[in-house]
Amino acid sequence: MNSNITTNLPLTIAKFGGTSVADYDAMMRCANIIKNDTSNRLVVVSASAGVTNHLVRLGQSDVSLAEQADIISQIKAIQLNITQHFSADIERALNTEIESLLEALSVLALAQSKQYNLQHSDAILSFGEQLSSRIFAQVLRVADVAGEYFNVQEVMKTNSLFGKAVVDVAQLRELCQSELAPKLVNKVIVTQGFIGQDAQGNTTTLGRGGSDYSAALLAEALSGTNLAIWTDVVGIFTTDPRITDQARSIAEISFGEAAEMATFGAKILHPATLIPAMRCNIPVFVGSSKEPEKGGTQIKKKVDSNPTYRSIALRREQTLVTVKSPAMLHASGFLANVFAILAKHELSVDLITTSEISVALTFDNPVGSTQSQITSAVVEELEQLCEVSVEHGLSLVAVIGNGLTRAKGIGQSIFDTLNDINVRLICHGASANNLCFLVNEADANTTVEKLHKALFA
């Protein structure tokens, strides 16, 4: 096994998601996971389940004072429900810390309701992780593990793009080596996912679900030997088990396949998580902190088997934009103009197919947003160039596997099963790891069920 630079000992970075740190029992299960494997020396936590959602609301501009107080008291209840399990003096000390954090939070919320700004919004969002990491460090100590709180903002330096800040990886590495690595020698350090700090000292966040990504970046910066993502499911499944009870956990999957899955809607990992892990070849484990004995999924560079079909991912609420222009016939530069408009609006295209005079493009609806990315401003600009049609209510189905561009009969195995479903757009050929298509929202579950039965029975 590799070892990390500073200590020559194996170093696992363990990340616990919101449900894993939702209450005292859940936190205690995580503490036991840490205790049972001494390579676990850096813990990255999410906010306790539900807290970030409360904070999202709290950071909005139209929250009344009464609602602010109500939200803060709900967050307080979630956290005090955990601290009540400690002995009286520990509980008292922690509650004092929690109360002073919540006091600071309410000052920010008040400022935000007077004058909204994104900077405050990120500062508000950061409180979930600030609270859970302090509490978890204490839970570790109760479990007889030398747990110590560490403020990730000391090392996670970012730009000032509030809400989706970009981490300075070189600086992170340098600061981790000098500030964090020495602490890992005889302590288990507990720190926050999701949050960072810009050069002016403002709090930033890496985007919803960003704790996985934080953990991966820290693993890279510390030359960790393993990254363990502990969540509430026993690894990555062949498809969403809520859609079909035939879905099963995958024991091993390659980085390439797992990245496709994360990108195409498998909600298990933040899509960027695998980038640092792949960059420095750190194997990633995904398992359930509720049932660690059940194992989980190992994601690594080389896997023993590379089946043609590995999984099916589904992403709902996709937007299909078709741009059509007879002038495109034999003309050049049309697509460049279309893409220039999309780039200007910072829109990232997912799938694209073209015909002689039209181009179809699909766009994701980012998690948590209620509004389509294709605003009327975008449509108006595109209309200067061509005819535009926009359709909503579509789902993107991605079949993920290996050698999909080389194997024979792929189209037949997939589409024969779907002969009574209206398939809207098919994308195949750019990657050997996926074949994607769109169906109407109403057909999405049936499509996945049928395909899963045909490809994984």
Q: Which residues bind Mg ion (CB under 5 A)?
A: 17, 209
Binding partner selected for residue 401 from ligand ASP, Mg ion, none, CB under the kind-specific 5 to 8 Å limit? none
Among 12, 19, 39, 52, binds ligand ASP (CB under 6 A): 52
Strand ranges for 272-402 from DSSP E: 284-288, 296-300, 309-324, 352-354, 358-363, 387-401
**Smallest gap from residue 381 Cβ to Mg ion (A):** 35
Binding partner selected for residue 255 from ligand ASP, Mg ion, none, CB under the kind-specific 5 to 8 Å limit? none
In the bound state with ligand ASP, the residue whose beta carbon lies nearer, of 128 and 147, is 128
Binding partner selected for residue 292 from ligand ASP, Mg ion, none, CB under the kind-specific 5 to 8 Å limit? none
Give the C-alpha distances (Å, rounded to integers) separating 183 from 179, 196, 226, 405. 7, 19, 18, 48
Site for ligand ASP in 4-23 (CB under 6 A): 17-18
Q: Rule CB under 6 A: is residue 230 a binding residue for ligand ASP?
A: no
Binding partner selected for residue 147 from Mg ion, ligand ASP, none, CB under the kind-specific 5 to 8 Å limit? none
In the bound state with ligand ASP, the residue whose beta carbon lies nearer, of 272 and 451, is 272
Residues 6 or more apart in contact with residue 34 via CB below 8 angstroms: 14, 40, 43, 140, 143, 145, 188
In the bound state with Mg ion, the residue whose beta carbon lies nearer, of 113 and 273, is 273
Give me the phi and psi of 297, to 5 degrees please: -110, 135
Residue span binding ligand ASP (CB under 6 A) among the ranges 139-147, 177-185, 209-217, 221-229: 209-217
**Smallest gap from residue 117 Cβ to ligand ASP (A):** 20
Residues 6 or more apart in contact with residue 277 via CB below 8 angstroms: 216, 219, 220, 227, 255, 283, 284, 299
Residues 6 or more apart in contact with residue 213 via CB below 8 angstroms: 193, 206, 207, 270, 272, 273, 276
Nearest alpha carbon to residue 252 among 227, 235, 228: 235
Q: Rule CB under 6 A: is residue 271 a binding residue for ligand ASP?
A: no
For the chain, the distance separating the N- and C-terminal CA atoms, rounded to the nearest angstrom, is 36
Among 26, 47, 109, 268, binds ligand ASP (CB under 6 A): 47
Q: Rule CB under 6 A: is residue 226 a binding residue for ligand ASP?
A: no
- Residue 190 CA to residue 288 CA, distance in Å, equals 19
Contact 132, 22 (CB under 8 A): no
Q: Is 199 exposed, middle or buried (0-12, 13-18, 19+ CB in 10 A)?
A: exposed
- Residue 102 CA to residue 106 CA, distance in Å, equals 6
**Smallest gap from residue 46 Cβ to ligand ASP (A):** 3
**Smallest gap from residue 287 Cβ to ligand ASP (A):** 16
Among 29, 120, 208, 315, binds ligand ASP (CB under 6 A): 208
Size of the site for ligand ASP (CB under 6 A): 12
Binding partner selected for residue 210 from Mg ion, ligand ASP, none, CB under the kind-specific 5 to 8 Å limit? ligand ASP
- Residue 399 CA to residue 352 CA, distance in Å, equals 16
Give the C-alpha distances (Å, rounded to integers) separating 3 from 8, 144, 149, 349, 438. 5, 25, 23, 40, 45
Q: Rule CB under 6 A: is residue 211 a binding residue for ligand ASP?
A: yes
In the bound state with Mg ion, the residue whose beta carbon lies nearer, of 93 and 367, is 367
Q: Rule CB under 6 A: is residue 209 a binding residue for ligand ASP?
A: yes
**Smallest gap from residue 333 Cβ to ligand ASP (A):** 41
Site for ligand ASP in 175-204 (CB under 6 A): 193-194
In the bound state with ligand ASP, the residue whose beta carbon lies nearer, of 17 and 256, is 17
- Residue 162 CA to residue 391 CA, distance in Å, equals 30
Report the interface residues with ligand ASP, using CB under 6 A.
17-18, 46-47, 52, 128, 193-194, 208-211
